[in-house]
């Protein structure tokens, strides 16, 4: 274990976080997302597993190190519920709470509302996402540029 590093951040994930820069995307998704197949089309090319934790805990661990881009409207985005794009499921509300904590820490604002993307866009291969998949939660969240 390393001093001050969330144990949820494994070696592969630390590598990717340190290698990322402005405009690079990181996808945090659940076990129902086709993470492995999409990961193979990304810059990094491999899925990074985060076993036995939920998305909010994964988001908290990632954001403990990774700054969100402050010069875009929605540095974090969520995948819409199919057929109900305005619904914010409980798991995404938990994700939003983690992002809001970072808004207060880094940006002097109370909230940083996630943008939303339709499932079809989420599932399609984007240019640079580097998926990271926690196993245990029920919705997916994309932190992106």
CA distance 104 to 121: 29
Stretch that binds its own copies, among 16-24, 28-36, 70-78, 122-130 (CB under 8 A): 16-24
Query: Which helix (H) or strand (E) covers residue 11, if one does?
Result: helix 11-19
**E strand residue ranges, the chain:** 26-28, 48-50, 76-79, 115-117, 132-134, 141-143
**129, 42 Cβ separation under 8 angstroms:** yes
Closest approach of Cβ 67 to its own copies, in Å?
A: 6
Question: By CB under 8 A, is residue 15 in contact with its own copies?
Answer: yes
Residue 145 in the binding site for its own copies (CB under 8 A): no
C-beta of 1 vs 90, nearer to its own copies: 1
Please give the Cα distance from 75 to 91 (Å, whole number).
Answer: 18
Distance, CA of 80 to chain centre: 14
Find the length of the chain: 145
> Shortest distance, CB of residue 99 to its own copies, whole angstroms?
15
- Stretch of residues binding its own copies (CB under 8 A), selected from 27-35, 53-61, 65-73, 109-117: 65-73
Q: Which of 8, 10, 107, 128 is the binder for its own copies (CB under 8 A)?
A: 10
Examine the residue annotation and report whether 3 is marked as an active-site residue of this protein: no
Window 67-96: contact mask with its own copies (x via CB under 8 A): x-----------------------------
Among candidate residues 1, 4, 11, 22, the one labeled active-site is 22
Helical packing angle, 55-63 and 90-107, nearest 10°? 10
> Could you list the residues that contact its own copies (CB under 8 A)?
1-5, 9-12, 14-19, 64-67
């Amino acid at each position: 274990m390393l001093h001050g590093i969330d144990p949820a951040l494994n070696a592969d994930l630390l590598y990717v976080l340190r290698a990322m820069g402005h405009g690079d995307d990181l996808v945090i998704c659940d076990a129902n997302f086709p993470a492995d197949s999409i990961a193979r089309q990304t810059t990094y090319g491999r899925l990074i597993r985060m076993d036995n934790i939920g998305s909010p805990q994964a988001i908290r661990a990632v954001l403990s190190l990774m700054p969100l881009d402050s010069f875009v409207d929605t540095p974090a985005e969520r995948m819409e519920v199919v057929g109900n794009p305005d619904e914010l499921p409980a798991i995404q509300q938990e994700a939003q709470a983690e992002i809001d904590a970072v808004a207060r820490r880094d940006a002097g604002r109370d909230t940083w509302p996630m943008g939303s993307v339709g499932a079809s866009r989420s599932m399609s291969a984007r240019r640079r996402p580097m998926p990271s998949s926690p196993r245990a939660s029920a919705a997916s969240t994309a932190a992106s540029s």
